[in-house]
Chains A and B, each alone.
Chain A
Amino acid sequence: MMQFMLLFSRQGKLRLQKWYVPLSDKEKKKITRELVQTVLARKPKMCSFLEWRDLKIVYKRYASLYFCCAIEDQDNELITLEIIHRYVELLDKYFGSVCELDIIFNFEKAYFILDEFLLGGEVQETSKKNVLKAIEQADLLQEPRHEYFNVPVY
């Protein structure tokens, strides 16, 4: 299973953190700091996998964002790369040519999309269409606020 997923910028600022294992806040911060440092230190041509503690880290850089997943020993690294790619595609389809700013300003949407794709560290839906459909329906259920006009805004 995937133990956690982190999204961070090239400057090391965290944009999204999804933890599938129970850890204290302090530990999470420590892990995040260490990992961000390690991944940012890698050169561009290096391979996307590294061993860190007893986990395998799979990371990929899309524009200015690093997508970093921690998987367990028996998991398949190459399919994790596909998982990351699928998530990026979903974000792209939802936001329309997604960029980092979209994720910053609509972070809760990014979480919702991730929650429709992965559950408990495992893939729950392999069809892009179904995931996007579910998000749309949930968005429709959001009670409209008269002071907001655009979707998706809080």
Chain B
Amino acid sequence: MVLPSLKLQELIQEIRGAKTQAQEREVIQKECAHIRAAFREGDAPQRHRQLAKLLYVHMLGYPAHFGQMECLKLIASPRFTDKRVGYLGAMLLLDERQDAHLLITNSIKNDLSQGTQPVQGLALCTLSTTGSAEMCRDLASEVEKLLLRPSPYVRKKAVLAAVHMIRKVPELSDIFLPPCTQLLHERHHGILMGAVTLITELCERSPAALTHFRQVVPQLVQILRTLVISGYSTEHSVAGVSDPFLQVQVLKLLRILGRNHEESSEAMNDMLAQVATNTDTSRNAGNAVLYETVLTIVDIRSASGLRVLAVNILGRFLLNNDKNIRYVALTSLLRLVQSDHSAVQRHRPTVVECLRETDASLSRRALELSLALVNSSNIRSMTQELQGFLEFCPVDLRADCASGILLAAERFAPTKRWHIDTIMRVLTTAGAHVRDDAVANLTQLIGGAEELHAYSVRRLYNALAADISQQPLVQVAAWCIGEYGELLLSESYEETEPLQVQEEEVLMLLEKVLQSHLSLPATRGYALTALMKLSTRFQGDNNRIRRVVSIYGSCLDIELQQRAVEYNALFRKYDHMRSAILEKMPLVEHGGPQDDEPGEGKEQPWSPKREVQSPTEPPTSNLLDLLDLLDSASGDAQPPPALDLMPGGSLLHLLDLPSNTPSLAPIPGLKVFDREGLQISLSFVRPPETPALLLITATASNTSKSDVTHFVFQAAVPKSFQLQLQIPSGDTVPAQGGPPITQVLRVLNPNKAPLRMRLRLAYNHFGQSVQEIFEGRNLSQKFTQDPVYHRGSKEDTSTSDIRILVFLAELPTSFPYLHSPPPPTGEIPTACPHL
């Protein structure tokens, strides 16, 4: 080492003089080398200097772990200077996680028992800052001894050391509990501070301690009284308030003791009122005490007059110029709003003022409080304010604000139209930040408000024409235009301006949405479906729509492609069904506020659409599948038969369960058909979360010696129900108990009407083709009693009360077979299954 080691001040100066980071690093590295060498040499007199330099370097962020052992040596040294720096180093370098940490326990122990007061102070300080659990256990007795020493300097530190020990090792509470009451009689403010803190800590940790310390409430009230009324000592006062630190601490303890306890609360009522009225609030110290008083009043079982006083104090705080005080007031009012709603309502105008703050912390608090204050009487004005806020608020608050407005609108909307308007406005302003189910809610709402269809669709059209970037809005608008497109073209609705819209313009807009890169895949799906629907609503030529749809038949997005292909099929092969399939949707049952599960949130906008649309889609795909499967030559589908309700039939009460039966009661299965070894049974499951839905599984099993082939099972229900037939597992039941065919039927019964169902079978068995048709009439009773139908050959239709029905959900077309004779033998009727 050529250069002599620097003094601390010189080192600091040199580091500060360094012009670049690299230069600084160089200086520091050089000095650290010196320090390391010095430590190695064991130069006792200079050690504290070296460590001080090391600590400075450590603060700048450089590694200093090689100084840890030096701290130990310094702590063990008899010199006060060494100890001072040593303990400081220990607090900075030797936290709990270091291995060398425990080694200081012995030194601390020695210092605590034998050291002078300043030394004891150092030891207690280090123990309180970085004492680990083991250290605390070891040193508990020493600290306890120090609690009883006469010197206040050591005692006040010992008390706070006890607080730290209890936080680390709660079992030590037993040791430190007894001296507390005595400590409260001290006059020294430092000891009192510590004692109150210690009692607070004990009470928070153990309910037994809490009960024990309720007896000190009078003592605490006395302390407060002395401070507030008589004790004006210059030593402790801050801006005219006597010892605000102690007052706040005492109030905090009173709060904990008075919570849920009538007697204690009563004992402190007067004092709290006095503190609240007498404290000088011109400076922050007084406001701090007042704030703590308010918190205490609110938390304990205080008299109602006192509570009103507390809320008024908060109201005054709200008008204060000091932002900190306003922040504190908003936070407290938020806590109060549940319990003292009307009192807080009085300050609503001021709260709304705070919304206009530029300070983000304040406006966030104001937003939360405003949302909590919304009720049915102030909904319109509050929503106005909140929407104004939404336009200018910082981005991180937008989501909360938007969802808050929507929630409030849902709860308190005075009229449907206002509700729709509000949601629309929120979507326009903050569309990207709303929750995913907002779209679903809005479509459901619009769907339900029939008188507002024209109004909604016009407004949405205008909004969409103006801006297609806000996805939720675009989705809703696309849906509406699809559903109610014809209302756009009709004469002007009185309350909005006349809207001269041509069909071409609407189509163009939807195409624009489809093509825009701003649109999400989901939005595109909405737009495509809307286009399809318009093909039936609009009178004009469908060529444009057909073109668009066929283009998307080769889209890369699977969802869009599937839709486009299906719609294409609708245009080409099933044009006659198009208008029926694309009819107006019935109102979806409102699911209520959905749980926010991350994965499912995205699917919410889909669910109402899917629920209702799916009855139309699977049949289409089913049909296509069946067509392929059964390889039918005939391409011309017959017009699907109409559903005809059977006159005078007794009703099946399957879905009409008596009220005393819980909806979860398992419904017994039914064997509905048994002939020559072929058995068909139905099992029923009602999923608990959707009581209107019934899942029926039809199982066809074969115990005969011959295979059953070309098996087709169909069912039909009255118009008030919705039925989906899912794809069967196969069409052949092998002989001798081979794997059965299963097919699931989903029956939706929104009106909770009794179910009636007609079933039709067609199959080949023993070389003959068979068709069976029967109805579920009082299914539960009739079938169990008479499970086997006498079915001879297919000619024998007249003997039973069977009608032939072929299923197609919700297609109001005629049934050709209803009153016609059964088809001739030996043929599988070609037309029937594939409709």
Contacts and interface: CB of A to CB of B under 8 A. Distances in A.
B285 interface: yes
Given A120-B128, A122-B197, 4 more contacts: A49-B328, A81-B324, A130-B190, A141-B80
B551 to A, nearest CB: 50
30 contacts: A15-B59, A16-B59, A17-B59, A19-B95, A22-B130, A22-B132, A43-B358, A46-B359, A46-B360, A47-B361, A48-B323, A76-B295, A78-B325, A78-B328, A82-B288, A104-B16, A111-B88, A120-B128, A120-B161, A120-B163, A126-B245, A128-B235, A134-B121, A137-B118, A138-B80, A138-B84, A143-B80, A154-B8, A154-B9, A154-B85
Nearest to B95: A22
Interface string B178-200: 00000000000110011001000
Contacts of A142: 80-81, 84
A28 B360 CA distance: 26
Interface of B: 7-9, 12, 16, 48-49, 52, 55-56, 59-61, 79-81, 84-85, 88, 91, 95-97, 118, 121, 124-125, 128-130, 132, 153, 156-157, 160-161, 163-164, 189-190, 193-194, 197, 235-236, 238, 243-246, 248-249, 252, 284-285, 287-289, 291-292, 295, 323-328, 358-362
B361 A105 contact: no
A52 B529 CA distance: 46
A130 B161 CA distance: 19
A119 B130 contact: no
Interface string A120-136: 10111111111000100
A141 B97 CA distance: 32
B362 A78 contact: no
B464 to A, nearest CB: 39
Contacts of A17: 59
B215 to A, nearest CB: 23
Contacts of B189: 125-127
Contact of A126 (B236, B252, B295): B236
Nearest to B59: A14
A93 interface: no
Given A47-B326, A119-B125, A126-B189, A79 B85 contact: no
B245 A47 contact: no
Given A47-B323, A105-B9, A107-B56, A76 B85 contact: no
B291 A47 contact: no
Nearest to A83: B245
B288 A24 contact: no
B327 A47 contact: yes
User: How many of chain A's residues touch chain B, expressed as a range?
Assistant: 35 or more
Interface of A: 13-20, 22-24, 29, 43, 45-51, 74, 76-79, 81-83, 85-86, 104-105, 107-108, 111-112, 115, 119-120, 122-130, 134, 137-138, 141-143, 153-154
A90 B116 CA distance: 24
Given A120-B161, A126-B245, A143 B79 contact: yes
Given A29-B61, A134-B153, A154-B7, A127 B236 contact: yes
Q: Which of A20, A47, A107 has the most CB of B within 10 A?
A: A47
Contacts of B84: 108, 112, 138, 142
Contacts of A51: 361
B156 A125 contact: yes
B276 to A, nearest CB: 15
Nearest to B7: A154
A36 to B, nearest CB: 12
A143 B245 contact: no
Contact of B160 (A23, A124, A153): A124
A119 B161 CA distance: 8
B292 A79 contact: yes
Given A46-B360, A79-B245, A108 B88 contact: yes
Given A46-B360, A79-B292, A105-B9, A125 B190 contact: yes
Given A77-B328, A115-B125, A154 B361 contact: no
B243 A120 contact: no
Contacts of B325: 78
B327 A119 contact: no
B696 to A, nearest CB: 52
A87 B285 CA distance: 14
Nearest to B131: A120
A133 to B, nearest CB: 9
B744 to A, nearest CB: 49
Contact of B288 (A15, A49, A79, A111): A79
Contacts of A77: 324, 327-328
Contact of A76 (B128, B246, B248, B360): B248
B802 to A, nearest CB: 70
A59 to B, nearest CB: 11
A82 B283 CA distance: 10
A82 B284 contact: yes
Contacts of B130: 22
Nearest to B285: A82
B370 to A, nearest CB: 18
Contacts of B193: 122-126
Contact of A129 (B16, B128, B235, B288): B235
B377 to A, nearest CB: 31
A138 B84 CA distance: 9
Q: Which of B118, B129, B193, B362 has the most CB of A within 10 A?
A: B129
B33 to A, nearest CB: 20
Contact of B291 (A46, A78, A143): A78
A49 B248 CA distance: 19
Contacts of A50: 361
Contacts of A128: 235
**Which 8 A-B residue pairs are closest in the complex by CB-CB distance?**
A120-B128, A78-B288, A47-B323, A22-B96, A120-B164, A79-B288, A119-B160, A141-B80
A76 B190 contact: no
Contacts of B61: 14, 29
